[in-house]
Amino acid sequence: MKQRKIGTSPVSAIGLGCMNYAHGYGNGLDDRDAADLLLKALDLGYTHFDTATMYGAGRSERILGDTLSARRSEFFLASKCVLYPGPNGQGREIDGRPERIKAACEDSLKRLKTDVIDLYYQHRLDPNVPIEESAGAFADLIRQGKIRSYGLSEISAETLRRAHAVNPVAALQSEYSLWTRNPEIATLEACAELGVTFVAFSPLGRKFLSGKLSLTDVEAPAAGDMRASMPRFEPQTYARNLALLDGYRAIAEDVGCSMAELAIAWVLSRGEHVVAIPGTANPEHLAENARADEVVLTPEILARLDALINERTVLGPRYNPAQQADVETEDFAPA
């Protein structure tokens, strides 16, 4: 797989988001199947694995550590803290206090069965803790050799600059795809200016852009599927968004690739400082996503894609008000 960089470390341009097998969409895997998925990813050329304490309340980290610790030198390991399951597993809490970040890192190191995490993110901004204080905690962890670099997730360009002034930020992670364009407001440019890698999660639009999520799937979601609370996946709205896929499917056919490959290739076309981390619990989709590395998009194809699916043509916000309250990413003004 083609390589790009996070900091000074080469990583596969397409990494693996390690949420789906343990958390989020109601279709997680048992430990054995999740381990098989991780091993297959490594054998396919994925060298960037992205997990978090939040994913399955530590389960994603534990499975990754149990499975890949013996091959630790073969991949770049990223995890996240600050966002945690709430009391008794209900809801979630955000805690960016330096002492909590440092304690969380110790717990992650144990679950991941490693001495050092290559990239450790602040998963969400804590509105009660200045970003400079949280950034200072990550800087301490770097000096102690427990992490090699740190990143931020779902934050604004302004907050990125403030954290970067305390200690250089290696990566900024946010949702980015044809149907979620918020990073184009400010953070993509800020990352390029500061030498920060932009890590795009959900490059497939939470499966929408793969063409594999039907209206029936949305009308009867699996228990625990977070999309059920997202406005774009409300059945009537989703039915209208599905109309975009007719033209999108035609473009994929013209390019000679699958719809999923096309979506990931579009994200990678945004700049050499951009990497993608699609998640999946399906081994066939894992291999399909990796093939996006080979897709070349011409300026004409990029123009067709940009005109077809964008912030003006997609219906519905990406998050409901409660979810949106936890993110600081810039948002488009209402139409």
User: Kind of pairing, strands 76-81 and 119-122?
Assistant: parallel
Which stretches of 71-196 are assigned E, i.e. beta strand?
A: 76-81, 83-85, 92-94, 119-122, 150-153, 171-175
* Tokens 């992205």, located at residue: 50
8 A C-beta contact, residue 23 and residue 226 = no
What's the rounded Cα separation, in Å, for the pair 293 and 275?
11
What SS3 class is residue 104? helix
Kindly name the residue from 46, 55, 238, 319 that is annotated as catalytic.
55
Is 319 among the residues known to form the active site?
A: no
Angle between helices 98-112 and 59-68 (to 10 degrees): 40
Bridge partners for 80 per DSSP: 121
Residues forming the active site:
55
